[in-house]
Amino acid sequence: MRFLQGLPLLLAFAPCACGAPPEATPPRLVVLISLDTFRADALGALSGAESSPTPALDRLVADGVLFEEAVCQIPHTLPSHMSLFTGLYPEAHTVRPGGAPLTATIPVLGELVKEAGYTTSAIVTTEWLDPKWGFDRGFDDYRRLPHRPTYAPRVNSAALERIDAGNESGEPLFLFLHYYDAHSDFSQGSDNKLPYFAPEPLREGLGVSGDGSEFCDDEGNCATSFLIGTDRNRTQVSEEIRARIEGLYRAGARYLAEEIGQLLQGLRDRGMYDEALIVLTADHGEEFREHGRWLHSQTFEETARIPLVIKMPGGEGAGRRIDHVVETVDVLPTLAELLGVEPPARIQGESLLALIAGGERHKRSTFSQNSINAKKYGLRTDDEKVRVDLGQGTVELYDLLADPEERHDLAPEERQRANRLARELRRRLEESRQLAQELTRGGDEEAVTLTDEEKKALEALGYVD
C-alpha cells in the first residue's frame, strides 16, 4: 500500500525533479460516510446561520477540507451512490430502479480499496443499497440494517464494533457507512404521521401538533404519502405547514449530525481520529417547494448541492474551504490517489487532491439529472447553471452569484450564453451514453426484481411518483 502522506500535502503536489515522494505508512482507518438526503445548507458551515445547527460536525469541518460547491449527479439514492462507487455519471453506469445491476466488468469502489490492501466493510440502511445492485463487490462484509424509526445509533454501534475488531487483528480497515435518518418518513407500518423524524426535544418551537394530523390529507394520507399526494395533485399548502415540514427536516438533520458527532468521538476515544482518513458527503438534498415540489427530484441547488468534507490524516489542509464546483464522481479517483491505486481508466470523475493543494481545476462544470423525468438535466459552473428539458426542448439559465435561489431565468434575454452551456451539457450527455455502450458491451445482467414488500416500502419512501 502507498499513501501520499510522506510529505506535507502542498509539497507532495509541487513540481519536483527529485523523483516520487517516499513510501509512507497508510492510514489504519478510512471512513466514507454518506448522509442520505442531507442538504448542503443543513451543514452548519454552509447554512449561513449565525448559530450553527450542526455543532457536532463543525470540528470535522475545521479539521478537514470543505468543498462548498459539491454537486450530486442525480437526486436518487440508487444511481447517486452508484456514481459514488464507480466515478461514472448515471447515464454511463446505467444502474436504475427496475433495471439491471452494475455490469460486472465496471470496477467499483470496494474492489479498488481492496486492491490497496484494506479489509473492507460496509453498513447500509436502505433497499437501494442492497448487494444485488453490485455495491458489495470487493467488500469482505456488507451489512444492510432493517427499517426502524432511527438508524444512526445502530450504525454507530455496528461501526465501532467493527473498528474494535479490526484493532484486535491489526488490519487496516475501510469502512463505508450510510445513514438514513434525515430521509422522509421511513417507519412503515407504524402510526407515525410526521413527514420527517426528529426527537421530541428538537421539535420544540416548531408548532407541530401532538398527533401530526396537519400532515394528513382528506384521504388519510400522512407523512411521506402526504408530500407525494400534494405534489401529484398540485395541492396548495399554507406557508405555515410548509415551514413546519422544513423545520422537522432540519431538526432531524441536527439530530443526525449529533449522532455522527458521537461516532467521531468514538474514534477519538480510541485514539484513531487524528490519523484517520474521513470523507463525509450525501447522495442528494431535499426540496421544500422552493421550485414547486417536495422530496428530491429536480436539479435545483436545494436538491443537487451536497456537503463534501475530506479530513486528511494528520490534519493536512485543515480548515481549507474550496469554492470551485466538484461532484460525486470525484470521490472515487480522490480515494484512489490517496490510497496509491490506479483509478479505472474510463471514469468521469477527477481527483481533488491537486485542487486541495491549491492547484487549478481543469473541469469547470458539473453534470446532473432529474430523478423522475429522465429527459431533464442540469449543468453548472462555479457561478452559472443551465437546466435543459430535452423532451420539451427548453433551456433555463441562472446566474448563481446574483441569483443563488434560481428565481430568475435569464435564457430569454441571454440566449447565446444559455445555448453555449446547453451545448456543453448535450456533449457531456452524449459522451456518457457512448461510454455506457462501451462499458456494458457484452453484459448479460438481468434486471433486478423487487419483492412486493420492497415495492411497498419504496413507494412509502417517496420513490414512486
**Tell me: the pLDDT tens digits for 165-174?**
988 888 899 9
Fold adopted by 28-367:
Alkaline Phosphatase, subunit A (3.40.720)
Enter the C-alpha cell of residue 271: 485514539
Nearest to 54 by CA among 36, 37, 30, 38: 38
Ranges of each domain in the chain = 28-367
First to last CA, the chain: 46
Most confident region among 279-288, 348-357, 358-367 by mean pLDDT: 279-288
Contact 50, 301 (CB under 8 A): no
Enter the C-alpha cell of residue 216: 394528513
Ranking 19-33, 292-306, 392-406, 408-422 by mean pLDDT, the lowest is 19-33
171 Cβ partners below 8 Å, 6+ apart?
A: 118, 119
**Tell me: the pLDDT tens digits for 91-148?**
999 998 888 899 999 999 999 999 999 999 999 998 899 999 999 999 999 999 987 7
Query: φ, ψ for residue 178 (rounded to 5)?
Result: -120, 125
Q: How far apart are CA 327 and CA 344, in angstroms?
A: 17
Which is higher by pLDDT, 440 or 346?
346
| Neighbouring-strand partners of residue 368 | 378
Q: What percentage of the chain exceeds 70 in pLDDT?
A: 87
Neighbouring CB atoms inside 10 A of 319's CB total 11
pLDDT band at 8 (very low <50, low <70, confident <90, very high): very low
Q: What is the mean pLDDT of the chain?
A: 88
Contact 163, 157 (CB under 8 A): no
| Neighbouring-strand partners of residue 34 | 178, 281
Q: How far apart are CA 230 and CA 232, in angstroms?
A: 6
pLDDT band at 451 (very low <50, low <70, confident <90, very high): low
Which is higher by pLDDT, 203 or 6?
203
pLDDT value, residue 16: 35
**Tell me: the pLDDT tens digits for 244-260?**
999 999 999 999 999 99
pLDDT value, residue 3: 47
Nearest to 206 by CA among 231, 243, 177, 235: 243
Contact 173, 28 (CB under 8 A): yes
User: ∠ at Cα 106 (101, 110), nearest 5°?
Assistant: 85
**Tell me: the pLDDT tens digits for 25-80?**
779 999 999 999 999 999 999 998 888 999 989 999 999 999 999 999 999 999 99
Nearest to 153 by CA among 58, 261, 249, 57: 261
| Neighbouring-strand partners of residue 308 | 281
Enter the C-alpha cell of residue 154: 445502530
Contact 29, 338 (CB under 8 A): no
3-class state of residue 207 by DSSP: coil
